[in-house]
Structures are given as structure tokens and as C-alpha cells.
């Protein structure tokens, strides 16, 4: 009973000013401590607004006394902040006036780590960034390395189709997890179980192919680590048979349900010009009606040979983003079906002595093969000097990899353009003027992966 | 435009822009349709000063690398800006609000300052952190690994 009251006043001060943590300068400041310009920016006026839009904004961010609003802290430990996202929210009653994401709680210096791993080991590092779509991370890193090596046009057909298969299945598993967490955040707990269950089926296939459920390091510069195992086609067909009925169930459970629509429609709205100005990509950009998908607009792998639709929304709200991701699972299934039809036979990796280790059998027979194998896995292979930026469409948007090489066997600088890191900047704009109860919905609809935000 | 040297790297368009012309060049590119700034990062070339650059470009320790995207033309362009140690560059915030977090990250990791940035604080490291972790002269901590049964 007396524990709180008995605490010395100085302790309570520390808690309330945030001085116990050292994020002081990164936190949301009270209105009295910042300039009018900074206030307008934090309230969401970073864009060149039209007069009507600015007028609409002033209804929310207008002059209110400091005693009428309250700054609260949400996260980093909170079940619905998807990892360790911390938000500082300024509230007036239940209305969110300002919001500031404070990130970095999961920062482990992965870009710095990447500077000490060879190009062959690099995959183990980048695959842990966006841990919900590890294969897409590996893919973009491998493609950047291949471009620097100048072998990007020589990757065998089968390797490219295999990469596409894994990338699309990974998109499905990632979106299934989104449906699960989105349901959980809104209180549809059954959906959490269903989404997780279906995702597990996809991960089971990954385990069969790569040996691991996550963090595969399977897509490597030059191709893939191994060929598809026997029976893979049946496993994929099993997934394709199972999923349509399950997705139809989700539609009944959520899409058709009035409460679900009420909670999502008109919540977290972002306009197309805002999304472009904030460099939002993926489902967030597409929810505003702009059909921008790197698979179609700046194609890579064999996407030009696949037929699929780019799903767009019209309102830019949380419901559109939910519906887009649900429909994208179906589009990915459509692509996977075409991959099954078109998968050629052939090699799963490039036969280039520089980057490809000799086959296991040769090592027993040939001394040169043994040395070669040893050198590739210890020293790695040298990559010519240069710099390159490669981007692909991950489930969350544009994931890019910028590598600067100094001609050695480790990247001089390896930077990953993480879609979640950039998309999190949309939060203040989506939350402004909304209700605190909808804050959870907005976070969920961004679908951030904090491993990738903080790297 | 003066102060801009066009180059190509693996089929990708690269522009070397002088620090003084940087904001003007990005604004001009914005007018030309490059409305999205997808990425802004930096490289510390302290340990690799002999890098290859086109004639007319004076290399400095840091390089700010900006990737712009034109959605209308499905085109990308990359800007490389040479920045010396202790020098600052103009912030792109007024042209591309998306650079807010990216410039904070570059400041946090490299210590490159952006003039006109509204909130140039650390973003990934704690506020009281000493040093900038992605600089090449930043000491990288290591934990020695003792393999089981290794001879000592």
C-alpha cells in the first residue's frame, strides 16, 4: 500500500522526466518547450499542404493549453507494438494530437557486422533483419553482390525460378502472420491462432527445403545453397490446396464482419502525396491507389514471365491495407502455380569457379578442389571495387541493398534500405486526430518488423 | 548544371554532386520527376581513400549517398556527395520529408551534420552515446571465443 507514497520524491522525478533512460533528446517534448514550427511538424504538417488541408489540421493541432493535453508513453514493452517499438503520444482526452516513434531498442549494429563478414557469410547477417521475410533479405543481398561481380546475367534459369518460388512463399507466410497479428491487435484472437497455423505450414516447407524455419541463408550469391528436395512439388501443391479454403474462412471471420470493418475503415488514413513524400512503399503506398510494385514496375528474376495483378486500395486506410495483404496472398499463390508449371531443370547455382564451391564428391578426389573449397569458405571470394544499389519488393515494401566494395572479400560498406524503418515515419501522420484505441490498429496496419527498423 | 559530374555504375545512373550544389540538384531532380527519396545513407572512406571516381571529383572522407526514384518514369538516380570530416551538408527535409529518419540515422552512425534538419538527434543509439559506430575509426568491440578443447 505504502510503496508508491513512500518513494522519495527525487525517484519519482526521474521516472517522470525520463532521465533514467538516456533517450531524452529523442523523446516527444511538451508543447511549452518547442517552437510553433516544430509543433506543426510533429502534428503532421511536414508536407506542402493546401489551405483547406492546413485548416483541417488546425482543428486538431490548434492552440490548446499545455494543461489540457497529456503525453503518455506506449512501449517499448507492449503486446501490440510488434517487438520493441516505443511511441510517445500526446493526448487530449482520447484524441491523439501528436505521436513520435522512438526506436533503437533492438539496434545491434548489423550493418557494422556486415563489414566483417565475407560475401558468403553476409547472408546469415541480413537474413536476421526482417525476420519475417528472411528469404527476401537474402535475395536482395545476393543480387547486389552478383551485380558487383558482374554475374547477374548468368544466374541459371532454375535458380531464378527457385528464388521466385521461395520469395513468393515467403510473402505468403509474412502476410499470414500479418493477418494473425492484425487480428490479435483488434481482439480477434482466433485469427491469431489461424494465421499462425497457416504460416507454420509454409515454414514447414521452408524447413524441408532449407533446413531451418527462419534465418535460412539459403539464397546465396551465385544461386542457392541446394536444390529443391524430392517431393517439393507435392508439398507446394498441398499448400496451394489448403490455403484457398482457409482464406475464405478469414473473409467470413473478418472481412464480412461489421465490427471488423468499423474498427478498420477510415482509420489511419494517408493520402497518396503524403505516402510518396514519406517514401512509404509496399501495401501502404498501394493502399492510396498507386499501383507501384517493383515486381512489375522494375522487374527482376522471372517476374516479367509471370502473370499477376498489383492489388491497390482507394482510401489509404487500415482496411485497405488489410484487404491488400489478404489479396496479395492469393496473387502470390497465382504466381506460385505458374512457377510450378514453368520450373525448368538445370543447375541451382552458377558454375563459376570464383564463387561456387566444388561439389562435395570432387573434394574427396581432387586436392585442388579441396583447396578451392577451403579458400571459398575461409577467405571468401574477392568482389571488384565499385558500388551498387539493388531493390526488390519485400512483403513490406522496397527493400534495398547498397554495397560499396573496395575489392576485398568483405563489403567495405553494406547498407540495407529497410522498408519498415521508412514506413514507421508514417505513424505520426496516420495517428493525428485519431483515437488512442485506434493507435494499435494503425501500428498493426503498418506491419513493422523491428528487427529491420533498428538493424 | 555546374558542380555535377554524371557517371554510371553497373548500369545505374550516378551523379557526383558538390556539397554546395547538393540541395539545388535534389530540388532540380524533384522538379524533373524524382519525387521519392527512397534511401539516404553514407559511407566512411577513411580506410579506402584511393577509390575510383570520375575526373573532376575531389574525394573527401565521407560520402552521403542518396537514392531518388521517379515513379512516373520508373527511373532511379543515385547522388554521391563528398563531405569532409567535420563538414555539414544541407538537409533534404524540406524537399523530401522522408529523409527525416534517414538523416538522423546518418548523423547517429557517422556524425555527419545536416543543416536545417528539424530534429537532428540520435535515432538508433542512446542519446548519451559516445562516438559514431559506423565510422571506420570507431573501435569495434570483440568477445574472444574459446572453442571447446582448444589448445591454450
d(CA B72, CA B13) in angstroms, rounded, equals: 17
d(CA A164, CA A258) in angstroms, rounded, equals: 37
Task: Say what the pLDDT of residue A340 is.
Answer: 92
The residue-averaged pLDDT of A249-256 equals 89
235-254 in chain A: CB under 8 A from chain B: none
Most confident of A157-171, A183-197, A344-358, B118-132: A157-171
Comparing B45-49, B74-78, B81-85, the range with the smallest average pLDDT is B45-49
Mutate to test the interface with B, among A389, A394, A425, A453 (most CBs of B within 10 A): A389
Mean pLDDT, chain B, as a whole number? 87
Cβ contacts of residue A5 below 8 Å, gap of 6+? Answer: none
Q: Up-side HSE of residue A369: CA atoms within 13 Å toward CB? A: 10
Q: Is B123 on the interface with A (CB under 8 A)?
A: yes
**Res A8 pLDDT > 60:** no
Convert the pLDDT of each residue in A149-176 to its tens digit: 988 888 999 999 999 999 999 999 999 9
Q: Does A96 reside within a domain?
A: no
**Could B37 and A279 be called an inter-chain contact, meaning their C-beta atoms sit closer than 8 Å?**
yes
**Res A30 pLDDT > 90:** no
**Res A99 pLDDT > 50:** yes
CB A53 within 8 A of CB A43: no
Comparing A70-84, A420-434, B95-109, the range with the smallest average pLDDT is A70-84
12-71 in chain A: CB under 8 A from chain B: 21-26, 37-38, 41, 46-47
Round the CA-based radius of gyration of chain A to a whole number and report it.
Answer: 24
Q: Does A295 reside within a domain?
A: yes
Chain A: give the shortest CA distance to residue B92, in Å.
11
**Could B93 and A46 be called an inter-chain contact, meaning their C-beta atoms sit closer than 8 Å?**
yes
Q: Does A360 reside within a domain?
A: yes
Q: Does A181 reside within a domain?
A: yes
**Res A403 pLDDT > 70:** yes
Mean pLDDT, chain A, as a whole number? 85
The residue in chain B having the minimum alpha-carbon distance to the alpha carbon of residue A391 is B38
Q: Does A26 reside within a domain?
A: no
Convert the pLDDT of each residue in A320-334 to its tens digit: 999 999 999 999 999
d(CA A280, CA A398) in angstroms, rounded, equals: 9
Q: Does A422 reside within a domain?
A: no
Chain B: give the shortest CA distance to residue A111, in Å.
8
Domain that holds residue A181: 149-375
Q: Is B37 on the interface with A (CB under 8 A)?
A: yes
**Could B124 and A21 be called an inter-chain contact, meaning their C-beta atoms sit closer than 8 Å?**
no
Across-strand partners of B62? B44, B83
Task: Say what the pLDDT of residue B152 is.
Answer: 55
Q: What percentage of residues in chain A have a pLDDT greater than 90?
A: 44
Q: Is A400 on the interface with B (CB under 8 A)?
A: yes
Task: Say what the pLDDT of residue B126 is.
Answer: 86
Q: Does A307 reside within a domain?
A: yes
Q: What percentage of residues in chain A have a pLDDT greater than 70?
A: 87
Most confident of A23-37, A54-68, A76-90, A300-314: A300-314
Task: Say what the pLDDT of residue A204 is.
Answer: 93
**Could A412 and B43 be called an inter-chain contact, meaning their C-beta atoms sit closer than 8 Å?**
yes
Using an 8 Å CB-CB cutoff, list chain B residues near A422: 38, 98, 101-102
Q: Domain of A177: which CATH number?
A: 1.10.645.10
Q: Does A404 reside within a domain?
A: no
Number of H helices, E strands in chain A: 21, 8
Task: Say what the pLDDT of residue A45 is.
Answer: 47
Among the partner residues B9, B36, B93, nearest to A388 by beta-carbon distance: B9
**Res A143 pLDDT > 70:** yes
The residue-averaged pLDDT of A1-5 equals 39
> Total domain count for chain A?
1
Residue A367's SS3 state is helix
**Res B145 pLDDT > 80:** no
Q: Is cis: bond before A76, omega within 30 of 0?
A: yes
Round the CA-based radius of gyration of chain B to a whole number and report it.
Answer: 18
Q: Note the pTM of the prediction, 2 decimals.
A: 0.87
**Could B97 and A454 be called an inter-chain contact, meaning their C-beta atoms sit closer than 8 Å?**
no
DSSP A426: G
Q: Which CATH architecture has domain B4-49+58-115?
A: 2-Layer Sandwich (3.30)
Amino acid at each position: 500500500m505504502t510503496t508508491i507514497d513512500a518513494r522519495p520524491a527525487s525517484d519519482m522525478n526521474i521516472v517522470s522526466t525520463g532521465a533514467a533512460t538516456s533517450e531524452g533528446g529523442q523523446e516527444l517534448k511538451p508543447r511549452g518547450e518547442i517552437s510553433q514550427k516544430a509543433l506543426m511538424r510533429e502534428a503532421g504538417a511536414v508536407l506542402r499542404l493546401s489551405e483547406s488541408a492546413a485548416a483541417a489540421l488546425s482543428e486538431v493541432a490548434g492552440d490548446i493549453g499545455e494543461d489540457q493535453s497529456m503525453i503518455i508513453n506506449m512501449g517499448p514493452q507492449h503486446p501490440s507494438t510488434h517487438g520493441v517499438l516505443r511511441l510517445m503520444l500526446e493526448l487530449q482526452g482520447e484524441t491523439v494530437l501528436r505521436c513520435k516513434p522512438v526506436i533503437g531498442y533492438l539496434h545491434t549494429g548489423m550493418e557494422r557486422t556486415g563489414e566483417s563478414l565475407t560475401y558468403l557469410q553476409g547472408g546469415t547477417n541480413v537474413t536476421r533483419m526482417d525476420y519475417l521475410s528472411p528469404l527476401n533479405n537474402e535475395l536482395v543481398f545476393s543480387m547486389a553482390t552478383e551485380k558487383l561481380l558482374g554475374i547477374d546475367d548468368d544466374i541459371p534459369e532454375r535458380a531464378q525460378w527457385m528464388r521466385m518460388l521461395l520469395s513468393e512463399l515467403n510473402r505468403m507466410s509474412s502476410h499470414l502472420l500479418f493477418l494473425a497479428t492484425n487480428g490479435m491487435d483488434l481482439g480477434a484472437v482466433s485469427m491469431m491462432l489461424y494465421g499462425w497455423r497457416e504460416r507454420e505450414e509454409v515454414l514447414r516447407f521452408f524447413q524441408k527445403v532449407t533446413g531451418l524455419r527462419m534465418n535460412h541463408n539459403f539464397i546465396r550469391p551465385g544461386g542457392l545453397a541446394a536444390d529443391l528436395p524430392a517431393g517439393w512439388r507435392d508439398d507446394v501443391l498441398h499448400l496451394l490446396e489448403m490455403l484457398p479454403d482457409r482464406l475464405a474462412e478469414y473473409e467470413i471471420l473478418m472481412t464480412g464482419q461489421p465490427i471488423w470493418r468499423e474498427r478498420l475503415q477510415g482509420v489511419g488514413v494517408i493520402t497518396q502525396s503524403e505516402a510518396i513524400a514519406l517514401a512509404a512503399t509496399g501495401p501502404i503506398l498501394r493502399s492510396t491507389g498507386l499501383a507501384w510494385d517493383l515486381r512489375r514496375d522494375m522487374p527482376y528474376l522471372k517476374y516479367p514471365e509471370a502473370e499477376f495483378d498489383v492489388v491497390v486500395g482507394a482510401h489509404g486506410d487500415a482496411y485497405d491495407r488489410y484487404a491488400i495483404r489478404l489479396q496479395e496472398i492469393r496473387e502470390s499463390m497465382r504466381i506460385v502455380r505458374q512457377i510450378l508449371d514453368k520450373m525448368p531443370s538445370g543447375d541451382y547455382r552458377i558454375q563459376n569457379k570464383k564463387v561456387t564451391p566444388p561439389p562435395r564428391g570432387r573434394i574427396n578426389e581432387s586436392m585442388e578442389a579441396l583447396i578451392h573449397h577451403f579458400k571459398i569458405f575461409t577467405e571468401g571470394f574477392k568482389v571488384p571495387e565499385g558500388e551498387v544499389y539493388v531493390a526488390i519488393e519485400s512483403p513490406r515494401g522496397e527493400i534495398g541493398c547498397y554495397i560499396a566494395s573496395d575489392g576485398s572479400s568483405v563489403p567495405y560498406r553494406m547498407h540495407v534500405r529497410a522498408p519498415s524503418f521508412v514506413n514507421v515515419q508514417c505513424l505520426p501522420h496516420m495517428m493525428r486526430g485519431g483515437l488512442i484505441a485506434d493507435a494499435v490498429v494503425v501500428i498493426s496496419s503498418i506491419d513493422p518488423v523491428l528487427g529491420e527498423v533498428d538493424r | 548544371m555546374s558542380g555535377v559530374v554524371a557517371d554510371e555504375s553497373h548500369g545505374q545512373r550516378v551523379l557526383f554532386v558538390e556539397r554546395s550544389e547538393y540541395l539545388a540538384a535534389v530540388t532540380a531532380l524533384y522538379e524533373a520527376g524524382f519525387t521519392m527519396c527512397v534511401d539516404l545513407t553514407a559511407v566512411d572512406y577513411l580506410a579506402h581513400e584511393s577509390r575510383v571516381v570520375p575526373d573532376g571529383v575531389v574525394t573527401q572522407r565521407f560520402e552521403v549517398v542518396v537514392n531518388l526514384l521517379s515513379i512516373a518514369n520508373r527511373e532511379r538516380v543515385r547522388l554521391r556527395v563528398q563531405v569532409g570530416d567535420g563538414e555539414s551538408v544541407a538537409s533534404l527535409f524540406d524537399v523530401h520529408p522522408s529523409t527525416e529518419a534517414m538523416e538522423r540515422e546518418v548523423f547517429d552512425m557517422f556524425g555527419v551534420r545536416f543543416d536545417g534538419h528539424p530534429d537532428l538527434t540520435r535515432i538508433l543509439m542512446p542519446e548519451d552515446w559516445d562516438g559514431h559506430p559506423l565510422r571506420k575509426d570507431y573501435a569495434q568491440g570483440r568477445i574472444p571465443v574459446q572453442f571447446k578443447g582448444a589448445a591454450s
